[in-house]
Amino acid sequence: MHVDISFTTKLQVALDSTFPVICYSREHRIPNSFVVEPEGLLFKRGVREVQPEVTEWNGTKIFFQATKADTSIPFDIFAAAFYLITRYEEYGCADLDEHGRFKFENSIAYKHDFLDIPLVDQWAEMLDKMLNAAFPMYTIKAKSRFRFCPSIDIDHVYKYKSKFISINVIRLAQKLLAGKKAEFKYHLKVLLNKAPDPYFNLEYIVDMHNDYNLRPIFFLHVGPRGPFDGYSYYNPYKVIKELFYRTLIVGLHPSYNASGNLNQMIKEKKKLETMTRVRVVLNRFHFLKFTFPQSFEHLNALSIARDYSLGYANRTGFRASTCTPFLFYNMEKDYISTMEMHPIVLMDVTVQKYMQREAKDLLGIISSYAEIIKRYNGEMVTLFHNESLSDEDMWYGWREEYKRAVQYVALLELHSIDEAKEKINNQLMNS
């Protein structure tokens, strides 16, 4: 809400205040104050079992409802927002997927149909208006403008070059036997350095985003080979040179098992810093595999400043019910860190594999989320891979649709939704 606040437990200080007063108390009431009845969550340390009952009020979902009628708002908006943003429900959850990840189906947002809504931002806007109505001297301050933050994970730098000779021989033989002569020839040309590897498309990705004044963040996997980490048989220095030649933003992309292994994360961070010769302060967990609070405590130990992992691998939406970056809070140790959490709303694999949507659906999906986030002047973080922008195999056609989506979202940074749509339509008519 971009408002300076102060706290007091002294009644007289509140009574003497010339500023708007919010009374956050079960027992006491302050004359002419805005009353919020505490649920109790914010007064307790650690994590306890909580089962919020979700209802609707004034067109929005609420929980931690007030028990008294003299409140200014019928629920504890502060505890509810805290519950969602800290990912309280993920602490100690034993029902995890095959990769040890919290299931979106277990989230309160999915169960009560608000996973596609940045509910905390909606509440903040509502509270702003209510305070303005209660205290005419209170002015609503505009949030930071809408921001688009595209990001690219580089799990596999090469499609062909990174494979062992035996694997390439088998793949070439399969294509030849299947009568795929064109694919066979291209594959062979890549191996003979007579054609570019389709996954090594960094120049295209950078130039395409530059066309719309965007600088994507590249998260680079430099960990060891593993069942979920692909092959590391390549020279990553070539990739680093390409990235830094273009003055790109690079972050750490820890290997599959590193999220639960601090020593492994330290090794991979040092390796990336040695290659880049700069301090690495950005992170995204591979497979979006992490647990609260352990994985993020590891990031704190590594002095990571910003993390871009908070999203579901198999469902789009707002995992923390917000489109606004926030600081990580450790519920077990009861402290707030300086590390920023930047939630992601959408990943390419989520749309293509888990939601089984086609390339032609991508523009509509991205546009829909972008317009919601624009409504609340939030930050839209998308996650794509160099593979999905290769126009190869199952990703054929996705690159062009992604480009169209990027063009529209980039326009939203500078224009209203109606203006952006009009500009896109005019471009289509003139093309």
Which DSSP string do the residues of 133-189 spell out, in sequence order? HH-TT--PPPPPPPEEEEEEEES-S-SSTTS-HHHHHHHHHHHHHTT-HHHHHHHHH
Residue 372, pLDDT score: 99
The arithmetic mean of pLDDT across residues 382-403, rounded, is 96
Q: At what angle do helices 398-412 and 417-430 cross, to 10 degrees?
A: 130
Q: Is the pLDDT of residue 185 over 90?
A: no
Residue 75, pLDDT score: 99
Q: Is the pLDDT of residue 230 over 70?
A: no
| Cα–Cα distance measured from residue 411 to residue 25, given in angstroms and rounded to the nearest whole number | 45
> pLDDT category, 428, cuts 50, 70, 90?
confident
What confidence tens digit (pLDDT) does each residue in 240-299 have? Answer: 666 666 678 999 999 999 999 999 999 999 999 988 888 999 999 999 999 999 999 999
| Cα–Cα distance measured from residue 320 to residue 345, given in angstroms and rounded to the nearest whole number | 10
Q: Which residues contact 354 (CB under 8 A, 6 or more apart)?
A: 313, 314, 315
Q: Which two tokens stand for residue 325?
A: 């970056």
| Cα–Cα distance measured from residue 131 to residue 154, given in angstroms and rounded to the nearest whole number | 46
Q: Which two tokens stand for residue 282?
A: 């950005």
The arithmetic mean of pLDDT across residues 133-146, rounded, is 84
The arithmetic mean of pLDDT across residues 179-184, rounded, is 76
Helices and strands per DSSP (H, E), number in the chain: 14, 13
With 0-12 / 13-18 / 19 or more C-beta atoms within 10 angstroms meaning exposed / middle / buried, residue 277 is: exposed
Q: Which two tokens stand for residue 89?
A: 């429900």
- Please state whether the peptide bond connecting residue 118 to the residue before it is cis, i.e. omega within 30 degrees of 0: no
Q: Which two tokens stand for residue 50?
A: 């909580």
Q: Is the pLDDT of residue 47 over 90?
A: yes
Nearest to 289 by CA among 264, 272, 313, 317: 313
> pLDDT category, 4, cuts 50, 70, 90?
confident
Query: The pTM is what?
Result: 0.93
Which tops the pLDDT comparison, 74 or 238?
A: 74
> pLDDT category, 168, cuts 50, 70, 90?
low
**Residue pointed to by tokens 């509502």:** 126
* pLDDT over 90, % of the chain: 74
Residue 20, pLDDT score: 93
Mark 14-50 as b/e (b = at least 16 C-beta within 10 Å): beeeeebbbbbbeeeebeebbbbbebebeeeeebeeb
Which tops the pLDDT comparison, 239 or 46?
A: 46
Mean pLDDT for the chain overall: 91
Residue 243, pLDDT score: 67
Residue 196, pLDDT score: 83
Q: Is the pLDDT of residue 186 over 70?
A: no
Which tops the pLDDT comparison, 258 or 227?
A: 258
Q: Is the pLDDT of residue 362 over 70?
A: yes
User: Contact 238/203 with Cβ under 8 angstroms?
Assistant: no
| Cα–Cα distance measured from residue 362 to residue 111, given in angstroms and rounded to the nearest whole number | 25
Beta strand extents in 379-427 (DSSP E only): 379-385
Q: Is the pLDDT of residue 429 over 80?
A: no
The answer to which of 89-93, 138-142, 168-172, 192-196 has the lowest mean pLDDT is: 168-172
| Cα–Cα distance measured from residue 210 to residue 203, given in angstroms and rounded to the nearest whole number | 10
The arithmetic mean of pLDDT across residues 300-309, rounded, is 98
Q: Is the pLDDT of residue 164 over 70?
A: no
Residue 179, pLDDT score: 80
CATH number corresponding to 147-157+198-430: 3.20.20.370
Annotate 336-371 with DSSP letters as a single string: EEEEEE----EEHHIIIIIS---GGGHHHHHHHHHH
Q: Which two tokens stand for residue 213?
A: 């004044």
Q: Is the pLDDT of residue 194 over 90?
A: no
The arithmetic mean of pLDDT across residues 54-61, rounded, is 98
Nearest to 369 by CA among 391, 341, 394, 347: 347
Q: Is the pLDDT of residue 334 over 80?
A: yes
Q: Is the pLDDT of residue 420 over 80?
A: yes
| Cα–Cα distance measured from residue 99 to residue 431, given in angstroms and rounded to the nearest whole number | 46
Q: Is the pLDDT of residue 426 over 90?
A: no
| Cα–Cα distance measured from residue 173 to residue 180, given in angstroms and rounded to the nearest whole number | 10
Q: Is the pLDDT of residue 408 over 80?
A: yes
Q: Which two tokens stand for residue 387?
A: 């593979």
| Cα–Cα distance measured from residue 343 to residue 143, given in angstroms and rounded to the nearest whole number | 17
> pLDDT category, 234, cuts 50, 70, 90?
low
Stretch (H or E) spanning 301: helix 294-301
